[in-house]
Amino acid sequence: MSLTGRRVLVTRAAEQASSLADALAKCGAVPVVVPTIAIVPPPSFAELDRALAGLDHIDYLLLTSVNAVEAVFDRLAVLGCDACSLSNLKTVAVGPKSAAALAAHGIAADLVPEDYRAEGLVALLKNRVNGKRLLYPKAALARDLIPDELSAAGAEVIDPVAYASSVPDDAADRLQNALADGLDLLTFTASSTVKNLVALLDTRGLAMARKIPVASIGPLTSATARGLGFSIVIEAQHATLDALVEAIKDYYAKS
């Protein structure tokens, strides 16, 4: 069974959707981009700014998404600082995309875990951070796994909110139209994209969506989707877009 011509829903934030959509299009799929999440500033940058002003006293900077990287450098610019402010600490990127975002600002990540999830980052650091001060600029809805586990390992974890998320204003209508036009596959790259999709649909639309197979970027997202009544037929081996696309290609090649 070929992926060619199959309509695949992309639910990533608008500014990040093109990388997945373009990769799917190269495989012959028809990407249907309907972001169910938008990245927005937090209510206040005060905590993040205060933490960045004290970088001289930080040992590790933990960056778990491209959004976190961009938020940090945006606020450094506002504070009149640049990449040199990070020269005396170790930077930890959760995966290759975050590392690439860092590199675009002239900083090479010192550490990247083999498992591109919060769990992998914790496993990488837990035996290194006793007595250290860690800065973890996080999403507003981030799990407590990193601060809880690394605090238990003896670190002092400073975790200001660096960015938040919301539901795009036009998402409900666009999603209903996409379902009406027909979809062959849904893709979810975070638990929030699943939860927001469910919140956007009425009873009939949700019933339609639950009949469509799902490709998930990883176990946590898969668990959220299953808990909300979706059928996961594809799960990426690594939590990256490249791995997700490869898993989708493999699935349709073998079907």
pLDDT on residue 43: 95
Is the pLDDT at 1 greater than 70, yes or no?
A: no
Topology at the third CATH level for domain 7-37+167-254: Rossmann fold (3.40.50)
pLDDT on residue 255: 76
Fold match, 7-37+167-254 / 46-165: yes
Q: Rounded distance, CA 38 to CA 2, Å? A: 32
pLDDT on residue 108: 96
Read off the pTM.
Answer: 0.86
Give the start-to-end residue ranges of the domains of the chain.
7-37+167-254, 46-165
The correct CATH number of 46-165 out of 3.40.50.10090, 3.40.50.720, 3.40.640.10, 2.60.120.10 is: 3.40.50.10090
pLDDT on residue 89: 96
Q: Rounded distance, CA 154 to CA 133, Å? A: 9
pLDDT on residue 156: 98
Q: Cβ distance 236 to 216 under 8 Å?
A: yes
- Tell me: the pLDDT tens digits for 127-155? 999 999 999 999 998 999 999 999 999 99
Identify which of 88, 140, 149, 91 has the alpha carbon closest to the alpha carbon of residue 118. 149
- Tell me: the pLDDT tens digits for 18-64? 999 999 999 999 999 999 999 999 999 999 999 999 999 999 999 99
State the average pLDDT for the chain: 96
